[in-house]
């Protein structure tokens, strides 16, 4: 039982929503809702509109988890 590598995609934060949710526009133009990964919350990394981020997309494709701020 090995953990599979999740594909990472790049996007641009277009809107900040309540409770650390963000609307992110991906490179291909689709818009999804994303939340912060645990390490970003623990280390108090601030994400603002206009930031380039790397995120992992869920299996259904409409939600994501921000894992890195570029």
Query: Which of helix, strand or coil describes residue 39?
Result: helix
| pLDDT tens-digit readout, 6-49 | 789 999 999 999 999 999 999 999 999 999 999 999 999 999 99
pLDDT at 2 (0 to 100): 57
Find all residues with CB under 8 Å of 15, minimum gap 6, and list them. 22, 23, 49
pLDDT confidence band for 3 (50 / 70 / 90): low
27 assigned to some structural domain: yes
For residue 1, being part of any structural domain is answered with: no
Question: Is 2 inside any structural domain?
Answer: no
In a domain, 30, yes or no: yes
66 bridge partner residues: 36, 55
Model pLDDT, residue 46: 93
The answer to the question of residue 3 being in a domain is no
The total number of structural domains that make up the chain: 1
Bridging pattern class, strands 63-69 and 52-57:
antiparallel
CATH code: domain of residue 29: 2.40.50.140
> 18: domain range?
8-69
């Amino acid at each position: 039982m090995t953990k599979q590598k999740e594909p990472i995609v790049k996007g641009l934060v277009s809107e900040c929503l309540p409770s650390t949710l963000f609307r992110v526009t991906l490179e291909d133009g689709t818009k999804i809702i994303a939340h912060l990964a645990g390490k970003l919350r623990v280390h108090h990394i601030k994400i603002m509109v206009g930031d380039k981020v790397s995120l992992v997309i869920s299996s259904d494709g409409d939600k994501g988890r921000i894992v890195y701020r570029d």
